[in-house]
Amino acid sequence: MPIRILVVDDEVDVEALMRQKFRRQIRDGAYEFFFAHDGEEALEKLREHPDVDVLITDINMPRMDGLTLLQKIKEQNIQLNAVVVSAYGDMANIRTAMNRGAFDFLMKPIDFADFEITLAKTWDQISKSKRATRDQAELSAIVHELKVASIIQKAILPSEYDAFPGRHDFDIRARNYPVKEVSGDFYDYFLIGQSRLGFLICDVSGKGVPSALYMAVCRTLIRTCAEPGTPASSTLEAVNRKLCEEDYASMFATMLYGILDTATGEVEFCCAGHELPYLLNASSGVRSIPMPRNLALGIEPDVTFHSVTITVHPGETLFLYTDGATEAQNAAEEFYLSSRLEEELAKRVGLGAEALLDGINEAIGAFVGNAPQSDDLTMLALHFRGAPASKQTPPMTVAHFSGVTPLPVTIPPAAAPTTKPTLFRRLGSDLAELEGLFVDVTEFLQQHHVPDGTVNAVQLVTEEWLVNVMSHGLEGVETPWVEYELSLGSGRIMLIVRDSGPPFDPTLHEPCDIPLDSDDRLPGGLGIELMLKMMDEVRYQRAEHVNALVMARKLS
């Protein structure tokens, strides 16, 4: 697209001069000239060619002078960049022209080199403002799309309120408060046949649109895999395998999935790295339900998930939540923590699902105050009333409901049994412990014929991350510990490091562009940059006050 220039001058030979001077640019399509001999003719030309970009105008002209022309252009709101040509030293006119919106000025006689510079500068200004207008338009389109996405997302989740109006044997409610327009958290509940209720709460890594898309995938997969007769653990194994089959840009999700047998009150829970649920009982209060944590979904394809089965008695309520509750922060950056959550739950043990959720939300809101919400918050409450009295209840079930504190029936070992070669070490915060670990890592990898280059890379990641955790992350921590787990399998090396330090996500580390030899350069950044470069995947998770960094490198 050529730059369209309208030159206004009463001297008749200007046109010939310009066409001669810029013949090359005109031929190449860089400039397109229009000419007028006074202000009135210029306005006519502008009506004929409304797409003129630059106006170059003389000041003294018959019929309508240049300053009046500028005034008219301003009044008629014609969008272009004007440059005035004035006699040397004519500051009064130049100032008036600038006040009327001229972008720049040129002195007579026109120096053509200067003319071209001015034109380039003007063009630059035009491009910038065009770009800004376009960006603005794109931005409003995105904002609009996000609003639509938010509506769609809300629509695919079941009602937060009375989702099963015909059912009197249980009452299930949820609340979802995203930080951004769309949420990475979600909840879901659905009937599996007539006597089973599937319910879940899920927290996808990250926030915003990517998380929301991943959330939609998770939700579809679980609805597809949750068939009658399939245990919760097998459902999550299937969902996990599907998630691992595709490369979803290093995303993962923690999930707590339960299946309630509405006739007996039995609930099979399967936890994929999620916060554990609470059971509320009017007489015995609030208790966390212990169960194997398993690994989050979307990290390792061949994981066996272990579940636990408990019995919920009529009148009891299950409470599920995402870390948006316990990690809600107030203005002093204090966390809400599970201790506060438990206190507030205890005050509300006798309430129904609806009142419980609203009460907890209010309590968290009161704690957070005016501080901005830091993470998506989702809560789910399932109040069990039991089978309707009209139905014949088998006597065995009555005995089952005899007020004994519910205890998990089976708790399999926390770590999934594995046949993968694994090196596991637990360390404190003393760097001297690393010497033994480095030797063990080398031996372990060499035993399994891992090539030297890869051994060095794993050593580097081990060193950089453990030094960071031990010398910074665990500083002042009451019981400092680090768990190091290195394993080989599925054609890759997996490294999982857990520690008891405060939250720190190295994947949020931004590459530093301060020169390496500058005094302003932070000492820690280099190691993390190196570490991230050595691995194909690095994912960070925080749960139950423990940092977990999961890293993988393909074995070529």
Partner 1 sequence: MMEISVTRQHPVTVIALKGRLDVLTSKNLKDAVITEIDAGANHLVLDFTNLEYVSSAGLRVLLEARKILKPRDGSVVLSGVQSFITTILNSTGFDTLFAIHPDAPTAVGAISG
For partner 1, the binding residues (CB under 8 A) are 431-432, 434-435, 438, 452-453, 456-457, 459-460, 463-464, 467, 516-517, 523, 526-527, 529-530, 533
Minimal distance in Å, beta carbon 533 to partner 1? 5
Least Cα distance to 120 among 52, 30, 34, 16 occurs for 30
For residue 446, the minimal CB distance to partner 1 (Å) is 13
Question: Three-state SS for 303?
Answer: coil
Instruction: Closer to partner 1 by CB, 404 or 439: give it.
Output: 439
Strands (E), 395-474: 422-427
Which are the contacts of 504, defined by CB distance < 8 A and separation ≥ 6? 473, 547
Least distance between partner 1 and beta carbon 424 (Å): 21
Q: Rounded distance, CA 317 to CA 348, Å?
A: 10
* Secondary-structure breakdown of the chain: helix, strand, coil percentages, each rounded to the nearest 5: 35, 25, 40
C-alpha to C-alpha distance for 347 and 410, rounded to whole angstroms: 30
In angstroms, give the least distance from the CB of 531 to partner 1.
Answer: 9
Which strands sit side by side in the sheet containing 285-288, from one edge to the other?
A: 170-177, 377-384, 317-321, 278-281, 285-288
Q: Provide, rounded to whole angstroms, the least separation between the CB of residue 517 and partner 1.
A: 6
Nearer to partner 1, 395 or 453 (CB): 453
Residue in the block written with tokens 């519910």 = 406
Pick between residue 18 and residue 457 the one whose CB is nearest to partner 1. 457
Cβ-based nearer residue to partner 1, 352 or 524 = 524
Nearer to partner 1, 120 or 526 (CB): 526
Rounded to the nearest angstrom, the gap between the alpha carbon of residue 494 and the centroid of all alpha carbons in its chain is 24
Q: Which is nearer to partner 1, 48 or 435 (CB)?
A: 435
3-state secondary structure of 72: helix
Select from 372, 315, 174 the least CA-distant residue to 256: 174
Residue recorded with tokens 């720049």: 104
Q: Which is nearer to partner 1, 14 or 457 (CB)?
A: 457
> How far, in Å, CA of 293 to CA of 305, rounded?
9
Can you tell me whether residue 326 is helix, strand or coil? helix
Q: How far is the CB of 502 from partner 1 (least distance, A)?
A: 22
- Cα torsion at 90, 92, 98, 101 (round to 10°)? -110
Question: Least distance in Å: CB of 309 to partner 1?
Answer: 47
Cα distance between residue 111 and residue 105, in whole Å: 12
- Give whichever of 293 and 553 is closer to partner 1, judged by the CB atom: 553
- Mind giving me the DSSP string for 265-288? -EEEEEEEBPPPPEEEETTTEEEE
| Least distance from partner 1 to the Cβ atom of residue 430, Å | 12
**Roughly what angle, to the nearest 10 degrees, separates helices 208-225 and 232-245?**
130
Considering the complex, state which of residue 435 and residue 510 has its C-beta at the smaller distance from partner 1.
435
Buried b (16+ CB within 10 A) or exposed e, 519-542: eeeeebeebbbebbebbebbbbbe
Nearer of residues 270 and 470 to partner 1, judged by Cβ = 470
Give ∠ CA 489-300-507 in degrees, rounded to 5.
105
Is there a contact between 297 and 236 (Cβ–Cβ < 8 Å)? yes
Closest approach of partner 1 to the CB of residue 249, in Å: 22
CA atoms within 13 A on the CB side of 356: 32
Cβ-proximal residues to 508 (8 Å cutoff; 6+ apart), any chain: 540
Nearest to 531, CA basis, from 504, 503, 500, 501:
504
Q: Which of 182, 251, 176 is nearest to 214 (CA)?
A: 251
Helix axes 452-468, 525-534, angle to 10 degrees: 140
Which lies closer to partner 1 via its Cβ, residue 95 or residue 533? Answer: 533
Q: How far is the CB of 423 from partner 1 (least distance, A)?
A: 18
Q: Is the dihedral of CA 211, 214, 220, 226 positive or negative?
A: negative
Among residues 440 and 529, whose Cβ is nearest to partner 1?
529
CB of 516 to partner 1, least distance (A): 6
Q: Nearer to partner 1 by C-beta: 129 or 456?
A: 456
| Residue number, 417 or 523, with CB nearest to partner 1 | 523
